[in-house]
Amino acid sequence: MTTAAQNASSPRPPFIGTNVPRTDGAAKVTGRAAYVDDLPREPGELFGATVRSPVPRARLRGVTLDPSFDWSDVTVVRASDLVVNEVQCISAEQPILAASEIRHAYEPVVLLACADKRKLAQAVRAVKLDLEPLAPVLDPEQSFAKVDVIWGEDNVHKRFSITKGRADLPDPSASAAAIEAAISGCEVVVRGRYTTHHQEQLYIEPQGVIARWDERGVHVTGSLQCPYYVSKALVHAFGLPAERVNVTQAVTGGGFGGKEEYPSVLALHAAALAQKSGKPVRLIYDRKEDIEATTKRHPAICEIVSGCDRDGTLRALSIRILMDGGAYMTLTPVVLSRGALHAAGVYRWDDVRIDAIAVATNTPPNGAFRGFGAPQTIWAIERHLDRVARELGRDPVDLKAQNMLREGDTTATGQILRGSVGVAECVEKALAASGYKDKRQAPPVVRGRVARGIGASVFMHGAGFTGSGEKYLKGRVAIDLLPGGRLRIRTASTDIGQGTETVFRQIAADAAGVGIEDVDFAVPATPYVPDSGPTVASRTVMVVGGIVERAAREIAARVHAEQETGGGDFAAAADHLLSKEPEVTALVQYEHPGWVTWDDVTYKGDAYPVYGYACDVAEVEVDLDTLEVTVTGFWSATDVGKAIHPVMCKGQIEGGSLQAIGWALWEDVVWKDGLILNPRMTNYIIPTALDAPPMHVDLVEAPYAYGPGGGAKGVGELPMDGGAPAIAAAIEHATGIVSRDLPLLPERLLELQNAQKG
C-alpha cells in the first residue's frame, strides 16, 4: 500500500500546526542546493560586467573604448544597441542603460562580456565615459522644493491623501483647514518630526542571473523573488511574446524585497549581452557592487501634529510624509501607499489627514524592502505617542492600550475591522512575559556606568496587496494529480528562505488528506507555473496558500468521487482517474472575500482584508560613557492568525526583529556627494547571531476566517515594524535621551544628550 493510500485510509494527525522538517533543509545544510553561481557553466558561457557612472548627475557626452586594448573577444553593449531602452516596472522611465544623462551614481552605462574573468576586469577599466558633471539634488526636501529644474517635470514620483472625519472633504484646502481646527480644539496638542534612513537588504547571496537565447526565445535563471516581474520586463524590452520568455528561479539565498524588482535590471543586462554575443552570459554581482547599485529602503521624513483629551483619548491626527524615491520610480508608489496606510498606527482617531509624497533625488533608486514603507511611518507614530504620553505624564503603553483599535472600530480609511484583531492579547502577553510594568514603574537601573531601561511598541501590518491589488493580480496556482495519488504544486510564489515549499506542502497535504511526503513543489519557471503574483506583501501564505488549499481540496474531491464509483484506496482511485484523463489539474484563482471594497481614487475602504498585530518589548543596557546600546532582551507577542509551522513562524518573527534591531542601532549607509562610502560587510554593520539578544516569542492566534489552515495571516513583514521604536523607548527610559531620528548610533545619542543638557 502506498503512503498516500495509508494516509488517506486511516486517521492521522494534521500537518498544519506541527513542526515538520523543512523539505529544503537537508539540501541547504549539506551544500547540495545549487544557487545560481553554483550552476555548471554552459559551453561557451561568458562572464558579464557593468560599467557604471562614478558621479551622481551628469550629461553623458560619449563612450570611448581604449583603442590599445584587445576587444576582439569582448562583447560590448551600449544604449544604442537596445531596441527598447526601458525597464518595465510600475512605470518604464528607468533606462536599461544610460543614453544621454546620468541620474545617479552607479547608473549602468555599458555592458561587457568575456570568457576570461581577468580580461573582463581589464576591459571595464578600458572603457572611458565622457561626462559633464552637473550639480546633483541629493536631499528629498531640496528635491521637493524644485520643480521643472532637473527632470523637466514635477519631481514627485507619487502622492496620496487619506482623510477621515471632519477632514474628509473633497477640497484639499478645506480639508487641511478642518484638520487644523480639529486639532486646535483639543486639550493637548503635540508636534513632532521623525526621520528614518536608508537600509541595505544585505541578503546572504548577492544578485545574480544566467541568460541564454535559442530558437525558443530567451532563458533566464536567477536569484529572484518574482519570476513574472522579470518575464514582463523581458517581454517589454525585447518585444517577445510571453511564451518565448522562460524565467526560472534558482535556489535563492534571501531577498527581503531586494530581489523583487531589481533582478529585472540584471536579467535585461545579461539577456542583452547574451543576444549580442550569441552565447550564454553569467552576470553575478560581488558584494560591493550589490550594495552600491541595488535598491534600498526609502528614507522618510514624517511631520506629525496630534490632538487628544487630557485623559489621553486620541482625537485628531495630521501627518505629512516625505519619502526619497531615488532617481527612478521602481516600486515607490506602492511603498509610499503602504507607509501612508499605516501612518495612523494601530489606534482610533476621530479626524485624520495624511498627506504622503515621494520625490526623486540623484541617488540610486530605492525599492522594495521588508515592511514596504510601514516601518518608516510606524517609527514615527510610535515615537510620537511616546511624546504624547510624556506630555500627559502617562506610561506610553497604558496610553496606547487605551486607544488601540478593537473589532468593529474603523481605520483611517474608514475600514471596519471585522475580526481577527488580536492586538489586546499581544500587549497583555508581551508585557507579562517581559515584566514590563514592574520594570517601568521602578527607576531605571544603573550599575556603575551602565543604565538599563525597557520600552515597548504596538503595531499592525496589512496582509496582502493594498486595496485593489489582489483583484488586479488575479493570482493563480495549479495542483496536478500524479500517479499513486501524489500531488504537485505549481506556483510562482518562491521560497527565498522563509519556508514556502514546506508550508505549502503542509497546507496541500491536510486539504487533500495525503502525506506531506506525497506532495511535490515544482521549481518556479514561467512556462510551467501560473502567475501567482509576486512573493511580497505578506501574501504568500495567506493569499496564495489559501488557493493552494482550495486546489488541493478540488483534486481530492475528484479522487474521492472516483472512489465512490470505482472503489479502491486513494492511490488506486487516482490512477484510475488518470487512466481516463491524462491530465488532472485544479487551476484556482484568488478572490477577495465579498465584503472587501476599495476605492483607488478616494483611497477609502478595506485597504487590506485583514491585519497582523504585535507588541514588541525591548530591554537595553546603555554604556553611559560611550552611549553604546546593547539589547539584553527582546519579547514579541504576534498575532499570526494561525501558525502553519510554529517553529518557522517564530523564526520569521525572530529574524525580522533582529533585522529591525540592526536598522535601529547599527546599519547606516554613509553617503558623500552621492556615493556610498561603506559598501562592504566590514563597514556596513549588521547584527550577527552573536549580536542577537535572547528572543522570547509568543504566537497569538486570532484566526482570519478566510485564511488557510484554519485562519493563517501574513507574518513576513510585521516583525520589521516594531523593533526600532521599542528600542528607542528603552533608551529613553534608561537615559532620558529622546530620539526622533534613526539610526540610534552612539555619536548621535551623544549629540542629543548634549543638546538636551544645553
Q: Domain check: are 612 and 565 in the same one? A: no
End-to-end CA distance of the chain, in Å?
Answer: 81
* 330-335 average pLDDT score: 97
Which domain CATH number covers 577?
A: 3.30.365.10
Predicted model pTM: 0.96
Q: What are phi and psi of 90, to 5 degrees?
A: -65, -45
Is 466 domain-assigned? no
Average pLDDT over residues 753-757: 91
DSSP state of 717: S
What are the pLDDT digits (tens) for 51-109? 999 999 999 999 999 999 999 999 999 999 999 999 999 999 999 999 999 999 999 99
Tell me what pLDDT residue 153 has.
52
Determine how β-strand 314-324 pairs with β-strand 351-359: parallel
470-488 mean pLDDT: 96
As a whole number of angstroms, the distance between CA 568 and CA 163 comes to 61
Whether residue 409 is contained in a domain is answered as: no
d(CA 116, CA 118): 6
> Quick one: angle between helices 723-735 and 374-392, nearest 10?
30
Whether 111 is covered by a domain: the verdict is yes
386 closest CA partner among 376, 396, 378: 396
Backbone angles phi, psi at 676, to 5 degrees: -90, 125
**279-295 pLDDT, tens digit each:** 999 999 999 999 999 99
Pairing between β-strand 281-284 and β-strand 46-52 as defined by DSSP bridges? parallel
Ramachandran category for residue 361: left, alpha or beta (phi over 0 → left; psi -120 to 50 → alpha):
beta
Contact 163/169 with Cβ under 8 angstroms?
yes
Residue at grid coordinates 501612508 = 340
| Residue 411 falls inside a structural domain | no
Q: What are the distances in angstroms from CA 532 to CA 226, 254, 526, 544? A: 9, 19, 10, 7
Secondary structure of 680-707 as H, E, C letters: CCCCCCCCCHHHCCCEEEEEECCCCCCC
Give the pLDDT band of residue 757 (cuts 50, 70, 90). confident
Rounded to an integer, the average pLDDT of 3-8 is: 44
**What would the mean pLDDT of 13-41 be, rounded to a whole number?**
96
Question: Looking at residue 443, what is its pLDDT?
Answer: 84
Kindly tell me if the per-residue pLDDT of 695 is higher than 50: yes
* Cα 354 → chain centroid: 22
443 or 216: which leads in pLDDT = 216
pLDDT above 50 for 702: yes
Report the pLDDT value the prediction gives residue 148, as an integer from 0 to 100: 45
Domain end residue (candidates: 589, 618, 645): 589
- Residue 358 in domain: yes
Long-range contact set of residues 148-156: C-beta below 8 Å, sequence gap at least 24: 150/57, 150/360, 150/362, 151/360, 155/359, 155/360, 156/357, 156/358, 156/359, 156/360
Span 619-638, average pLDDT? 98
Same domain, 240 and 114: yes
Q: Choose one of 589, 621, 640: the last residue of a domain.
A: 589
Q: Is 599 a domain residue?
A: no
Looking at the fold, whether 378 and 520 belong to one and the same domain comes out as no
Dihedrals phi, psi of 740, to nearest 5 degrees: -115, -5
Same-domain status, 570 and 613: no
Per residue in 99-142, pLDDT (tens digit) is 999 999 999 999 999 999 999 999 999 999 999 999 999 999 99
C-alpha cell at 302: 514624517
Instruction: Please say if the pLDDT value at position 1 is more than 50.
Output: no
Which residue range forms the structural domain that includes residue 559? 3-33+475-589
Domain count for the chain = 3
In angstroms, the CA 298 to CA 132 distance is 28
Of 589, 623, 643, at which residue does a domain stop? 589
Does one domain contain both 194 and 63? yes
Note whether 28 and 50 are same-domain residues: no
Looking at the DSSP bridge assignments, the partners of residue 102 are 58
Collapsed DSSP state (helix, strand, coil) of residue 92: coil
Which grid coordinates are listed for 423?
492586538
Q: Are residues 582 and 611 in the same domain?
A: no
Distance CA 231, CA 236 (A): 9
Give the pLDDT confidence of 569-604 residue by residue, as tens digits: 999 999 999 999 989 999 999 999 999 999 999 999
Residue 431 within a domain = no
414-455 pLDDT, tens per residue? 999 999 999 999 999 999 999 999 999 988 888 899 999 999
Same domain? 523 vs 450: no
Residues above pLDDT 70, as percent of the chain: 97
Dihedral sign (CA 83, 87, 91, 95): negative
**Inter-residue contact 111 to 272 (CB < 8 Å):** yes
State the chain's mean pLDDT as an integer. Answer: 96
263 contacts: CB under 8 Å, gap ≥ 6: 207, 209, 222, 223, 224, 225, 226, 229, 230
Residue 51, C-beta contacts closer than 8 angstroms, at least 6 positions apart: 108, 109, 110, 111, 112, 124, 127, 129
The reply to whether 611 and 756 lie within a common domain is yes
Query: Could you tell me if 562 and 641 lie in one domain?
Result: no
CB neighbours (10 Å) of residue 339?
28
Q: What is the pLDDT of residues 34-49, one digit of tens each?
A: 999 999 999 999 999 9
Mean pLDDT across the stretch 199-218? 98
The CA-atom distances, in angstroms, between 187 and each of 336, 688, 740 are 31, 46, 24
Answer whether residue 426 is part of any domain: no
Least confident of 195-199, 207-211, 396-400, 578-582: 578-582
Radius of gyration of the chain (CA): 27
Do 18 and 62 lie in one domain? The reply is no
198 and 326 assigned to the same domain? yes
- The residue among 469, 534, 526, 533 whose CA lies nearest residue 240 is 526
